[in-house]
Amino acid sequence: QLQLQESGPGLERPSETLSLTCTVSGASISSKNFYWGWIRQPPGKGLEWIGSIYYSGTTYYNPSLQSRVTISVDTSKNQFSLRLTSVTVADTAVYYCVRRMAVTGTKLYYFDYWGQGTLVTVSS
């Protein structure tokens, strides 16, 4: 059974860099037809897609965050990571790592597996 597990600090100071890692178990991160990514949810609010990465290293970012975000993959550890620089209180959220899966034989995708989420609070 595929599992995704986020890890990283739960508290960041304003202007610091948020770093989270997602460890994938039960499947290879190098599998084709899958993208790996991050979605966040501020407390009591909706979902915001942050970005995705393919095992080859190709990345896609939300333009609203693009200047501050980096997603990377470590196939040897079956992990991928999120780095968000210059955080502010507005970056306080539950951060989910996700797998985006292609429907066989199509170019249709959906987020089929989610981590449990990790709350990151930005506060001085």
User: Where does this chain bind another protein (CB under 8 A)?
Assistant: 46-49, 52, 60-64, 96, 100, 103, 106, 108-112, 114-117
Q: 49 vs 55, which CB is nearer to another protein?
A: 49
CA-CA distances (angstroms) from residue 16 to 42, 72, 83, 98? 18, 19, 11, 24
Which of 70, 68, 88 has the alpha carbon at shortest distance from 13? Answer: 88
Shortest separation between residue 47's beta carbon and another protein, angstroms: 4
Output the six-digit token pair for 59.
Answer: 């990345």
- Altogether, the residues listed in the chain come to a count of 124
Q: How many CB atoms lie within 10 A of CB 96?
A: 22
Q: 43 vs 76, which CB is nearer to another protein?
A: 43
Identify the three-state secondary structure at position 90: helix
Shortest separation between residue 112's beta carbon and another protein, angstroms: 6
Report the greatest alpha carbon distance in the chain: 49
Shortest separation between residue 62's beta carbon and another protein, angstroms: 4
Q: 55 vs 60, which CB is nearer to another protein?
A: 60
Q: 2 vs 47, which CB is nearer to another protein?
A: 47
Shortest separation between residue 91's beta carbon and another protein, angstroms: 17
